[in-house]
Structure 1
């Protein structure tokens, strides 16, 4: 049956739009301006398709546009911010009483864990309130100041004192931003909780500017798309510059040598020409014609470090690799040169040292490992 041309034209026009609508269901989204950006592995329930997010990462938007993360066995938490590259998020209680939620803390059925956690002991005190309030910081949303106050402390010293005058409520491991010190006698526990996830492992994709997601709707296999194409590996551009520059320089020397030879052996017998040729040949003979790097056993012997969550390196202040100029990320491997202690991405320095036998920062020349002696034949 022949399809009327107006209908065919309409179908052709709508087909790309339908495909685009399907793609747009997984676009980055927010509950409201100023709220955290939501994308894979998170998805907004009712707004994103199930294939747009990973199981356990369901987000909902409240009527007042709060972004809530629904955790099994613990209920909803307000998402304050998300770091997709570091695979971390910061949450708080939507009702502004986080200590009350911490008393029923349970992350066992969720994909999230604490980056740092610290043990807090809760006390309910009804005697000597003025004295205790002057010494410890009460939790306002749990306290009825005329009758009782509630304290939470990580300090063994404070625990020992409050145990003798107050009722112990519970001891809880709290996911904190960073561990408190013993001198912190009590805390209101109002700061955001810092959580992390291990699966899906999309941090490296995100840190390189890509977007993580499922390869297809019927599989949990991950795919990284949208990574800017560099064409060559990190640090390889330096090797290319060396490999191209040196032959070009040697070629120029060859051409100049031919010209000088022609001047020397030709009919130009002027005294100044002979002196110029001799001087130039002596200069060219003194220039190096090869670049000597380090051997592979020496490079492999250098110490390696796997970067932790705090991204600290032995030398303070080093946050980026001096070769590729990329920031160090957790779980990346760096390698240090023993003679000077400078650190680099392992891949970057492994490509640099075979071509340049010196540190890219301070130009220190590392020592080569002694070569094994060849056994003489009997």
Structure 2
């Protein structure tokens, strides 16, 4: 049972020592090995106290150790995956008949929303079954009778065809993982639903390696703890190093140049004459060299891969992006460097390579496209 906010406020005001003790023990937990890790803003009923989670994010463990999220006016859904940094989760029906649940879909009273919404039209067909089943894909768990089958489709073409042959059941906006572009066949709608939440806003804390939760005072303000000291991304660290290092090198060589000129003027005929100073300048150098990153055409030519449900990449063992340190999720786009085969989030490597012409993992230097020669004017 969810405690209303005023009651929780009174609980915090009159029991601060107890609340502090509870917050210190709000550790992540699982229903069983292999199930998603549950931590703030989620909490497991019976394993976590109320202050360990956010209102509306309570989950429960079934007798067979499934992790269920209970949504108001819609019932329980099995949690498949949670991405705390992106503030997204993937859910499905614990009874393996998600389309049946979608007909009564209602997210209005929950803290969750759809990442992608696409309208599906459901049809109940009892005539010309052989031809329809051969052409379209029926929903198996709703088509268990030999007298009728059920189809669902986002295609306006298929809707126009089935409208004259079948009975319209419902039109539902479904929170799909990604939009369907198939305009020929209907869908079984068996894939996980992709949901997200806006509040509490803990994504930035999680992406930095920290843990989000309530502050240990009498407010509902959030606190981010446990952020590693090296919380900056590699791109940020290299950018800071370049911004500080390049001016410092220019200043250093400027001082050396002034010293050399002073020695030339003050000791023209002495042991620090022209030849000695010239040798010194040749040894040290007069200008720093800079290494530029790759050009945009070269970066755009690298192959892209859309991660599947098994989250496997060409190189075994790669489970997270080495630039942003976030785990790869289904339907995300990654890009690989041809010379070494290492993969990264497409956005991450697109920001990295213009600054550093090397692989962030093995330091291999990718080849640049040859630049076209400038034509001389007639």
* TM tier, smaller: 0.5 to 0.7
SS of residue paired to 1:122: strand
Q: Distance in 1 between matches of 2:303 and 2:43?
A: 35
RMSD: 3.9
Aligned to 1:144: 144
Q: Is the 8 A contact 1:156 1:182 kept in 2?
A: no
Q: Does 1:245 align with 2:246?
A: no
Provide TM-score, normalisation by structure 1: 0.66
Runs of 4+ residues deviating >6 angstroms:
18-21, 281-284, 316-319
Q: Deviations over 1:218-260 (max 9, x none)?
A: 3221111222224987532222222433333344445555666
* Distance change >3 Å, CA 263–CA 239, structure 1 → 2: same
Aligned to 1:338: none
Q: Matches of residues 125-204 of structure 1 in structure 2 within 5 Å? A: 125-204=125-204
Unaligned runs of 5+ in 2: 1-17, 291-298, 305-321, 328-348, 356-367, 372-378
Aligned to 2:77: 77
Q: Is the 8 A contact 1:39 1:53 kept in 2?
A: yes
Q: Is the 8 A contact 1:72 1:109 kept in 2?
A: yes
Q: Deviations over 1:183-227 (max 9, x none)?
A: 242111100000111111111111111211111263221111222
Aligned to 1:212: 212
Aligned to 1:124: 124
SS of residue paired to 2:32: coil
* Distance change >3 Å, CA 251–CA 203, structure 1 → 2: same
**CA positional deviation for 1:163:** 1.2
Provide TM-score, normalisation by structure 2: 0.66
Q: Deviations over 1:75-120 (max 9, x none)?
A: 1100000111111100000000000000110000001111111111
Aligned to 2:344: none
Aligned to 1:46: 46
Larger of the two Rg values belongs to structure: 1
* Distance change >3 Å, CA 94–CA 249, structure 1 → 2: same
SS of residue paired to 1:165: coil
Q: Distance in 2 between matches of 1:316 and 1:179?
A: 26
Q: Distance in 2 between matches of 1:184 and 1:193?
A: 22
Count of matched residue pairs: 290
Q: Distance in 2 between matches of 1:58 and 1:262?
A: 81
